[in-house]
């Protein structure tokens, strides 16, 4: 069987599984947005977090909800992911982490890394931290410019040292945009030098603050160049770490299963849910915050009831709302791509790899 034939068969099976999950969702990742406070002000922030007082997720409400989740689900099968804003800005961060560990959940953290020193890393390790994802979006000048805080690059490098010293493996996520695309090779060399276990490379998304900075978005040519770069590094026997594209997009027959371990499926509402810093129950945290997509609130609702009976918008076929998607030959596999880049006002995806490839073919034929 040809490679395309194998991929078509496998993606067909995954499409069938997606239909099963729409009827029988399986909670696997529960994100807790501890705060929308952040000590950085990144130009590409999907949720437009920033400084000031901000909001804090109520500790008692969160812990009560996590206790209910531990009762209603098997804790060892649900990964709790602490995020923000910057989650370490929550004054009860370590109390929350301890209770998560006591409940028996595996847990991880997504952080900008600027607040991690050795004592912080050691405390997290003692509480069973299983994964940490740090952000590094270019070499020093480029990273600091995107993050809009001088010195943030150096703090990330220090955080990696401290986490390794505490015995914690590190994944680095790099958002590639028009201003750091030319730094891909030196960034790869830096990741090797830092001995990170995983480098997750993603394109800047047309969401959040990035919508106000379209000049940062990758051209079609550079988007495909990014995918080719990841595939080259991923299959180079000399690469000392896992290099992968994020989970964020369907990549077509050409790239699917070659840039990450799994085929694409958007898990929003199927196996991914979130609790926002105001207690609202939501799907993926990267999805545009819209009132009609809020599923409930932990102050009044039991999470498992909402998970069972809610999330209908995420468990239906939204490709039927979009003419281009409806008539696409790969609709069954793509399913409208990621929910976080879906344009809910116009019912169409803001990102589409099929469109990228069509545009490139058109340019090359001219």
How far apart CA 174 and CA 134 sit, in angstroms, is 9
Q: Which residues contact 346 (CB under 8 A, 6 or more apart)?
A: none
- What CA–CA distance (Å, rounded) separates 284 from 266? 9
Note the pLDDT of residue 340. 95
pLDDT of residue 122: 98
Note the pLDDT tens digit of each residue in 167-200. 999 999 999 999 999 999 999 999 999 999 999 9
Confidence of residue 120 (pLDDT cuts 50, 70, 90): very high
**Average pLDDT score over the chain:** 94
Asked whether residue 257 carries a pLDDT value surpassing 80, the answer given is yes
> Are the C-beta atoms of residues 152 and 112 closer than 8 Å to each other?
yes
Lowest mean pLDDT among 88-97, 145-154, 156-165, 347-356: 145-154
Q: Assess whether pLDDT exceeds 80 at residue 47.
A: no
At 103 the pLDDT is 98
Whole-number pLDDT of residue 149 = 82
pLDDT at 339 over 80: yes
The whole-number pLDDT of residue 210 equals 82
Over range 236-250, report the average pLDDT: 96
Separation between Cα atoms, residue 199 and residue 193, nearest integer Å: 12
> Is the pLDDT at 366 greater than 90, yes or no?
no
Instruction: Give the H or E element holding residue 348.
Output: strand 348-349
Asked whether residue 94 carries a pLDDT value surpassing 90, the answer given is yes
- pLDDT on residue 89: 96
pLDDT band at 48 (very low <50, low <70, confident <90, very high): low
Token duo for residue 180: 């750091």
Q: Provide the 3-class DSSP secondary structure of residue 294.
A: coil
What are phi and psi for residue 323, nearest 5 degrees? Answer: -60, -45
**With 80 as the cut, is the pLDDT of residue 276 above it?**
yes
The pLDDT of residue 285 is 95
Q: What distance lies between CA 112 and its chain's CA centroid? A: 14
Average pLDDT over every residue of 275-282: 98
**pLDDT(106) > 80:** yes
Compute the distance between CA of residue 297 and CA of residue 293 in angstroms, rounded to an integer: 12
CB atoms within 10 A of CB 185: 10
H/E element, 110: strand 107-111
Q: Reply yes or no on whether the pLDDT at 218 is more than 90.
A: yes
According to the model, what pLDDT value does residue 172 have? Answer: 97
């Amino acid at each position: 069987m040809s490679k395309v034939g194998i991929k078509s068969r496998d993606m067909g099976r995954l499409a069938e599984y997606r239909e099963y999950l729409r009827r029988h969702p399986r909670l696997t990742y529960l994100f807790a947005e501890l705060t929308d406070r952040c000590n950085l002000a990144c130009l590409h922030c999907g949720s437009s977090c920033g400084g000031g007082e901000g909001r804090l997720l109520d500790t008692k409400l969160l812990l009560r909800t996590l206790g209910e989740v531990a009762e209603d689900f098997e804790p060892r099968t649900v990964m709790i992911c602490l995020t923000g804003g910057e989650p370490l800005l929550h004054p009860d961060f370590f109390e929350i982490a301890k209770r998560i560990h006591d409940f028996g959940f595996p847990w991880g953290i997504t952080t900008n890394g600027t607040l991690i020193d050795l004592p912080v890393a050691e405390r997290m390790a003692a509480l069973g931290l299983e994964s940490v994802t740090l952000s590094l979006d270019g070499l020093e000048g480029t990273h600091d410019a995107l993050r809009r805080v001088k010195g943030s690059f150096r703090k990330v490098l220090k955080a990696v040292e401290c986490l390794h010293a505490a015995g914690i493996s590190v994944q680095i996520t790099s958002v590639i945009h028009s201003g750091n695309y030319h730094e891909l090779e030196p960034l790869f060399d830096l990741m090797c030098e830092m001995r990170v276990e995983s480098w997750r490379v993603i394109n800047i998304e047309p969401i959040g603050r990035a919508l106000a900075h379209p000049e940062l978005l990758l051209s079609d040519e550079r988007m495909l160049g990014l995918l080719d770069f990841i595939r080259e590094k991923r299959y180079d026997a000399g690469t000392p770490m896992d290099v992968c594209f994020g989970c964020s997009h369907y990549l077509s027959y050409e790239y699917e299963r070659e840039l990450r371990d799994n085929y694409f499926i958007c898990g929003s509402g199927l196996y991914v849910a979130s609790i926002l810093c105001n207690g609202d129950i939501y799907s993926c945290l990267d999805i545009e915050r819209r009132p009609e997509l809020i599923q409930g609130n932990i102050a009044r609702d039991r999470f498992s009831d909402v998970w069972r009976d809610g999330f209908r918008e995420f468990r239906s076929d939204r490709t039927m709302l979009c003419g281009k998607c409806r008539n696409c030959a790969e609709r069954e596999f793509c399913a409208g791509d990621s929910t976080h880049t879906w344009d809910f006002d116009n019912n169409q995806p803001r990102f589409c790899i099929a469109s990228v490839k069509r545009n490139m073919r058109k340019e090359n034929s001219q």
